[in-house]
Structure 1
């Protein structure tokens, strides 16, 4: 019997895992944005001494994980599992990071939903008694993502105003069966929602319906309402997707106007930094969660939050063949108490 399952898609953890340490590394552009004071390391050069953007991204993720372990007074040998993923083919940033760290590893691909996917699965492993300590991590890099999903930078393509700027950065979270919180109390696993959007430059519109589906499911499964949270934040819908979520949720009877925002909206000053619709990428929700949200929770400014990272599960090949873009969203509730 699935005694920890609530409703159709939600798990309530009986022994909520604790977040015991985090670490964030971001690129120069992110370090100039509104959340710069919350990031642990801001790079002066997004190549970081590497031969390619892809190798730079792998280094960023590896160093973020190492630093998160150091912050928790832990070593690689203390960790039962590493759960990580990224945007690149064969999740190479995470794979090469795992090769270097030599920690038992599950590679994940949830596109930009990977941060909350890893937290959901990591919390299940710990609450299920299969692990005591798990590292959850992800990364993205503007330049590596651009040339895989859009055009080489040298092409100099024009960006439309619905487009988002892929965040260069990585965030790592260490979960433990012991600790003083904040705690992961609920996880709502998303379903694929595809409303037929084919414009790969408008990720917000493609992913927003999945975010709405997961939010409504979470509230129905848990019995919570938006007012139960100090903050509800989606991963990387940007300005376009955020607006769609607010409109669709209002039609369903949920007013999110006082507590909802989006990581992609918060990480950049869109006007001053010319990021159009905002931020995106796996690293977007990862650095906002492990930087801004975690540190504000530790200060007591947020007591209960819901973070819901969203992912567009497509590839350039299938998109060019005329297929639409499937979206998904996974939500995780984090509380300063065990609930």
Structure 2
């Protein structure tokens, strides 16, 4: 019998794991945004001293793990598992980083939902007694993602207003069975939802139904109400997806407008930086959570957070074959103990 299960999608932890430290690295554009003071490192250029954007992304992920481990006052050898993913084929960034770090590795792909996927599975491992210390880490890079999913940057293609800007960033969180910090109380695992959106330049609309489904499932299965949280934040929906999600959740009887925001809107100042519909990418919710949100929780300015990272499960192959874009969203509920 699954004693820790609430309904079909949610688990509650008997011994909620601690998030004892986080670290974040972002690119130059992200460092010009409104959250600049919260990031641990802002790159001067997006190559990060490497010969390719892909290698730069892997280095960014690797160095973020090192910083998070150092801040936790642990050593790399203390970390029993690394749960990580990115947007690149065969998880190149995460796999190459895991090779260099030597940590036992679970490679995960949930598109832009990967940060909460890694936090979810990491919390289950610790609460289940399978580990005491692990790292959940995710990255994305504007230039590597554009090259893989869209067009070579040299083309200078016009971006429609619904398009989002892939965040160059990485975030790492150290989860532990003991220590201090916010604790992971609930995890609501998302279902794959597909309402037939085919426009790869409108990711927010494609992912919003999955975000709404997971949010509603979380409230139904936990019995909690939206005002329980100081912040409900989706990962990568941008302006269009955020509006759709808010409406879909309201249709199910939950008004989240008062305390709801999106990482893709928080990381950039769209009036100044012209990111169209906002930010996206694995590194969006990863860097915003591991930078801004975690530090606000440490300072007790935010005490209860529901983080829902959202992913568009498309590939170049599926898009070229005319397939629609399935969406996924996983929710992680975090609290600061009194």
The TM-score with structure 2 as length reference comes to 0.99
- C-alpha offsets along residues 308-327 of structure 1, whole Å, 9 cap, x if unaligned? 00001110111111100010
1:181, distance to aligned residue in structure 2 (A): 2.2
- C-alpha offsets along residues 155-187 of structure 1, whole Å, 9 cap, x if unaligned? 110000000000001000000000122000000
2:168 maps to 1:168: yes
1:74, distance to aligned residue in structure 2 (A): 1.2
Q: Give distance in 1, aligned partners of 2:2 and 2:165.
A: 41
Structure 2 residue matching 1:112: 3-state secondary structure: coil
Query: How is 1:145-184 mapped onto 2 (pairs within 5 angstroms)?
Result: 145-184=145-184
Structure 2 residue matching 1:324: 3-state secondary structure: coil
1:12 corresponds to: 12
1:308 corresponds to: 308
1:230 corresponds to: 230
Q: Give distance in 2, aligned partners of 1:181 and 1:43.
A: 27
1:250, distance to aligned residue in structure 2 (A): 1.6
The answer to whether the Cα contact below 8 Å between 2:24 and 2:171 also exists between their aligned partners in 1 is yes
**Which stretch has the larger CA shift, 58-67 or 248-257?**
248-257
- C-alpha offsets along residues 4-32 of structure 1, whole Å, 9 cap, x if unaligned? 11111001000000011110000000000
The answer to whether the Cα contact below 8 Å between 2:21 and 2:181 also exists between their aligned partners in 1 is no
2:49 corresponds to: 49
- C-alpha offsets along residues 68-101 of structure 1, whole Å, 9 cap, x if unaligned? 0011111111011000000000000000000000
1:221 corresponds to: 221
Query: How is 1:125-274 mapped onto 2 (pairs within 5 angstroms)?
Result: 125-274=125-274
Query: How is 1:82-101 mapped onto 2 (pairs within 5 angstroms)?
Result: 82-101=82-101
1:297 corresponds to: 297
Structure 2 residue matching 1:24: 3-state secondary structure: strand
Q: Give distance in 1, aligned partners of 2:172 and 2:93.
A: 14
Structure 2 residue matching 1:134: 3-state secondary structure: strand
1:289, distance to aligned residue in structure 2 (A): 0.3
Equivalent pairs, count:
338
The answer to whether the Cα contact below 8 Å between 2:138 and 2:286 also exists between their aligned partners in 1 is yes
Q: Give distance in 2, aligned partners of 1:191 and 1:206.
A: 14
1:198, distance to aligned residue in structure 2 (A): 0.3
1:74 corresponds to: 74
1:3, distance to aligned residue in structure 2 (A): 0.4
- C-alpha offsets along residues 16-52 of structure 1, whole Å, 9 cap, x if unaligned? 0001111000000000001111101001111011000
Q: Give distance in 1, aligned partners of 2:227 and 2:200.
A: 34
Query: How is 1:23-38 mapped onto 2 (pairs within 5 angstroms)?
Result: 23-38=23-38
Please report the RMSD computed on the Cα atoms of aligned residues, expressed in angstroms.
0.7
- C-alpha offsets along residues 113-172 of structure 1, whole Å, 9 cap, x if unaligned? 000000000000000000000100000000000010000000110000000000001000
Q: Give distance in 1, aligned partners of 2:53 and 2:303.
A: 38
Q: Give distance in 1, aligned partners of 2:307 and 2:210.
A: 14
1:337, distance to aligned residue in structure 2 (A): 1.6
Gaps of 5+ in 1: none
